[in-house]
Amino acid sequence: MIKAILFDFSQTLVDSAEGFRLAEKQAETKIFNDLGLKPWSDFMTDYRRLRKDFHAKANFSRKALWEAIYQNYKQEPNENLISSEENNYWETIIANTKIFPETKEVLAQLSLKYRLALITNNHRQKKSGRYRISRFPDLESLFEVIIVAGENDIPPKPDPKPFLTCLENLEIKASEAVYVGDDFKNDILGAKAVGIKPVWLKHHSISRNWHSMETTVLTITSLKALLDLV
C-alpha cells in the first residue's frame, strides 16, 4: 500500500531549464574572456568534456568545475571571478524558475491522501539547496519532509542515503513509497536501488535530449497523470 509520494524538485515540480541555460552561458562567456582564449569552439569542447566528467561523478559544484577549467589551461583560477559568477549563476536560475502549471493543483490533491516529501540535490552551491524550494512557500508547506542531498553528511543522489534518510524520517518502508523525478540516473535508478517504485517524469513542456532506452519504469509526461496512477 502506497503511503507517501516523494518528489525531485528541479524539472519535476518546477521548470528551471531556461535558467540553467542562461546561467551556464553567462559563466562560460566570463571565464572564456578572462582566460584570453580563442577560438570559442575549442574552449566549449573542453568545457563540455570537463562538465560531463564532473556530472558523471555526481559532482555538481560550479566552483570546482570552473577551477578545473582554469587548471586545464595551466592558469591560476580567478577566485574573485569564480565567487562572483557562482552567486550570479544561482540567482539567474532562481529568477528564471517557474512552477509547472499543474504542480500546485496536483500536490494539493495528492496531499489529501498521501504524505509528501522532497529529495533534492543542492548542486554544491554556497547557500542551502533548500532556499530554492523556500522561494515557493505554497509548495514548501505541502511537504512533510525535505531532504537536501549534498548537505549535512548526506551525499547527493543517486547515493542511497538521501532516499533512505527520507524513508526513516517518514517511518515507512521503501515498498510504501513512490518517487517521481526527471533524471534517469539520479532519480530513477537511485530510487529503484533502495526498493522505491520510481516514476519517470519527462515533462512535455521541456525541450531536452531524454535518455533513449528500453525500460519498464513507469513514464509520464505531466504531473496530472499521477492523479490517475496512484
Q: Which pTM value belongs to this model?
A: 0.86
Q: Is the pLDDT score of 20 beyond 60?
A: yes
Residues 135-167 have pLDDT tens digits of: 888 899 999 999 998 777 889 899 999 999 999
Average pLDDT, the chain: 91
Q: Left, alpha or beta for 58 (phi > 0: left; psi -120 to 50: alpha)?
A: left
What is the torsional sign of CA 151, 155, 156, 157? Answer: negative
From 59-63, 81-85, 161-165, 207-211, the region with the lowest mean pLDDT? 207-211
Question: 74: burial class by Cβ within 10 Å (0-12, 13-18, 19+)?
Answer: exposed
Residues 170-217 have pLDDT tens digits of: 999 999 999 999 999 999 999 999 999 999 999 998 877 766 666 889
Q: What is the CA radius of gyration of the chain?
A: 18
**CA-to-CA separations, 26 to 125, 194, 200, in angstroms, rounded:** 17, 38, 30
CA angle 175, 181, 186 (to 5 degrees): 90
| Residue with the larger pLDDT of the pair 132 and 10 | 10
What's the CA gap between 156 and 131, in Å, rounded? Answer: 17
Cα dihedral 116→120→126→128 (10° resolution): 10
